Amino acid sequence: MNSPAVLAEIRRIEIGLLLEAIFQRYGYDFRDYMRETIERRLEQFQKENNIESLSLLCSRVLREQSLFYQLIGYFSINVTALFRDPFVYAALRAQVLPMLRTWPHVKVWDAGCATGEEVYSLAILLAEEGLYDRTTIYATDISSSALATAKAAIYPLTTLQQGSRNYLESGARASLSDYYHARYDAAIIDSRLQKNLTFAKHNLVMDKSFGEMQVIVCRNVLIYFNRNLQDQVLETFWESLENGGYLCLGDKESISFTSVSERFEVIDHTARIYKKKGVLG
């Protein structure tokens, strides 16, 4: 009988083989995701789909495309909320949005937008500061199902009610109920906030620069990547920002000790807001 250490090593090898197989078969690269996160998601997927072993899962994923798309839904991180971390939106309102008025047209990239609550929070913020009419928000995610929810803009009423508390703490200029229409136990975001949104499937690991942006928001995604992949994605963000553009990360993320650390200045350390330095020469 194999010892627990040997079994753990076998599972580590099997996970590596599965991720390599996914890359070779479908072109999705999860090899540099944090391995602890991948392992937890695989255990959950196996249990919920009654798949006894990783070797069987690998065999089925290679042959059943529908099963593969189910699996990557487990790898996608969809933890989000309206005005999550209100202090971040307060910092954006005070320190970033006034500077956006210097651009004739504003482009915002919400990378890893999940089910869209963050996108609509940004839209409300821009609307209240008189910037939304000349802004385009590009909202991207790897998950098709998450994007479908974001596009529909329909949420449980409890989601909006919980978001109201965050909104008030962020420096609200109105009532959150002004921005949605409720019916029974669901609510739809007002169409005024949907008109300047472009949703697209985008893989931060595989896909490259996403245009010339004034603002990139990517919160609580990099924590699931190892350092090499974090550097790769941060390089993409740097390339995608205009000089003087802003990057906003999650509260457990930082550009410190990364490949781009010297190319940004810190605007707000607590809110993890950075500004791209001008390029000399």
Q: What is the pLDDT of residues 157-197, one digit of tens each?
A: 999 989 999 999 999 989 999 999 998 899 999 999 999 99
Is 50 exceeded by the pLDDT of residue 281?
no
Residue 214 belongs to some domain of the structure: yes
Mean pLDDT score, 201-219: 89
From CA 275, how far away is CA 277, in angstroms rounded? 6
CA dihedral of 31, 35, 41, 46, whole degrees rounded to 10: 80
* CATH number, position 139: 3.40.50.150
Q: Quick one: tokens of 75?
A: 């790898």
Which of 48, 75, 102 terminates a domain? The answer is: 75
Instruction: Locate 160 and state its tokens.
Output: 């909006």
Q: Say if 146 falls within a structural domain.
A: yes
pLDDT at 279 exceeding the cut of 70 = no
User: Which of 17, 50, 75 is the endpoint of a domain?
Assistant: 75
> Per-residue pLDDT tens for 105-141?
999 999 999 999 999 999 999 999 999 999 999 999 9
Q: What is the DSSP letter of 116?
A: S
> Count of CB atoms within 10 A of residue 262's CB?
9
Q: What is the pLDDT of residues 89-103, one digit of tens each?
A: 999 999 999 999 999
In this predicted structure, the answer to whether residue 146 has a pLDDT above a threshold of 70 is yes
Q: How many residues in the chain?
A: 281
DSSP class of 239: H
Distance separating alpha carbons of residues 96 and 93, to the nearest angstrom: 6
CA–centroid distance for 1 within its chain: 43
Mean pLDDT of the chain: 92
24-37 burial, b for 16+ CB within 10 Å, e for fewer?
Answer: eeeebebbbbeeee
Residue 176 lies in a domain: yes
In a domain, 41, yes or no: yes
Cα distance between residue 19 and residue 267, in whole Å? 37
Average pLDDT on 9-15 reads: 90
264 close to 275: Cβ distance less than 8 angstroms:
yes
Q: Are residues 65 and 204 in the same domain?
A: no
Residues 109, 132 within the same domain: yes
What residues make up the domain containing 162? 86-276
